[in-house]
Amino acid sequence: MIYLLVFISVAAMTAAQLLLKKGLIAVGQYPQSFSQLIPFFLKVYTNPYAISAVFLTILTALAWVLAVSRTQLSSIYPFMALSYVFVALFSLLIFKEDVTALRWVGIIVICVGVFLVSRS
């Protein structure tokens, strides 16, 4: 059950980040002027992708609270790093973002670290 909650947390956080990026692509870049911040955030938080990202972030928090309440934080927290792995992978596939060789090395290090922590 704990690993299901962790999986939900990782999957929901990954999806939230990808949806937020999609929403921000539609809204546009952060404004340079302070006076444009309120209109910018109104556009962001009325965008269906950004709203979905907020709800998925709440789902992440709920599943994470349940998981942390049932086990040692040090044994499950490294799994949250997998959301970085999935975000990098899906950013490459969906948004055609550049993932350099050095980033791939870092991703491999993260995966090895998660594996090592999960075995102890």
Look at phi and psi of residue 21 and say left if phi exceeds 0, alpha if psi is from -120 to 50, else beta: alpha
Do residues 49 and 20 lie in contact, with contact meaning Cβ atoms separated by under 8 Å?
yes
Q: What's the confidence (pLDDT) of residue 115? A: 84
Residue of 10, 33, 22, 3 whose CA lies nearest to 84: 10
Q: What are the C-alpha distances in Å from 96 to residues 10, 49, 66, 71, 107?
A: 22, 18, 35, 37, 17
Q: pLDDT tens digits for the chain (120 residues)?
A: 888 999 999 999 999 999 999 999 999 888 888 889 999 999 999 999 999 999 999 999 999 999 999 998 888 888 888 898 899 999 999 999 998 999 999 999 988 988 888 776
Amino acid symbol at 118: S
How far, in Å, CA of 19 to CA of 8, rounded?
A: 16
Alpha-carbon distance of 94 to 92, in angstroms, equals 6
pLDDT the model gives residue 11: 97
pTM of the model: 0.87
Q: Which secondary structure element, helix H or strand E, spans residue 62, and what is its range? A: helix 48-70
Report the pLDDT value the prediction gives residue 120, as an integer from 0 to 100.
Answer: 64
Residues in the chain: 120
